[in-house]
Structure 1
Amino acid sequence: QELKILSKWYKEQDFESKLPPYYRDIIAELNLGTLAYMEPKNSRVRILLTKLYVVQLIIDDTCDRYASLREVELLANTIKRWDLEDHAMNEQPDYLKSVVKFIFNTFQELEKELGSELEGSYGLKATKDDCKIYMRANLQLAKWAAAGHLPSFDEYLDVAGVEFAIFFTLAFILKVMDHNICEKEAREWLESREK
């Protein structure tokens, strides 16, 4: 049932007509990663988390597989400002506008779905902040690739640790999984990492 819901949602995004064919079409595989939260009560969490994984995948594939460095910079700046009406959007190619709209619309959907559950010290703002950090990490990797720079192991780990999207995902899971989780302590732990 969940995969049916997700497949319908994914098809409605209409990536085929909006994006060049650089992105990985792996909605079922992304959903597979959420099955660790196997209790029936976590169905909604699995669906929302899969949608968040699709956001991460589209960002990653756009930055790694298709966009020029200039386009990754434009995308990073738009995500940083988090403003769909941003005048910088006019400079972006149509496919990148579609990427930005998809990201923002997905976050609006998460906000609508979770509503008041995302109020308080954490909230959707923190997940957006983690998305911005993730985007900056992708920008740094794109800069290295464009310059032909081979980072040291430590340099790479500093950036790739964020780029792996672990914190982005963890932050979201900590909020939507269980209302009894140690929200303040968990958020402080996440924020203690280097950015």
Structure 2
Amino acid sequence: MLGAGLEDEARDLLQSLLERAPLSRRARELLARLGGNGEVQEHVGTSTADVAEDVASLLAEDAESPASEHRYDQGLMYRELGMLDDAIREFRAAARTPGRELASLEMVGHCLIDLGEVKKGIECFRIALGRGARGLAAANLKYEIGAAYERLDDAERALEWFAACGQEEPDHRDVQARIRSVRGRVRNDAARNTGNLPSSSRKNKISYL
């Protein structure tokens, strides 16, 4: 058994860590190794000292990792599981920490688009751009905005943003192919609209039949 009172302290610390990182497998395993009465469960090669050392090691790692990293990682896991509302909550929490703001905003945008809130997703991408995204990060946000407008069947705006991405990073993903594809759609739409307009000759033509 751990020293008097230490078993409860270890359990409380692990439960506190799990509140911040509920998917932490290691924390759950350590908590399971502490019995309901605080005793270390009997496993081959397991001792009280081993559990105490593992708990201390895990807590040290937690202290070195910013809370935003836990929240961001949780957001990624929730999105993979399709738990989009939970993912958005975690990414928004992570966005409050400098250094994770832009990536978190981008991920909120992706989650909103996954939920069908494409315009709100675009707004998140634009906010991230306005808060200092540079270089490859900026190019990727422009690409994502273009892709979102393409989903909305707004070919003109999609072309505008794909072109902006291509100017910044010409080889980014498949942006050149996207530009060619969307540009063709814009031209076809323009031709179709022009063809639907009545010509001046048709307007002025009078039938005497």
- TM-score, normalised on structure 1? 0.22
- Radius of gyration: which is bigger? 2
RCO comparison, higher one (Cα < 8 Å, 6+): 1
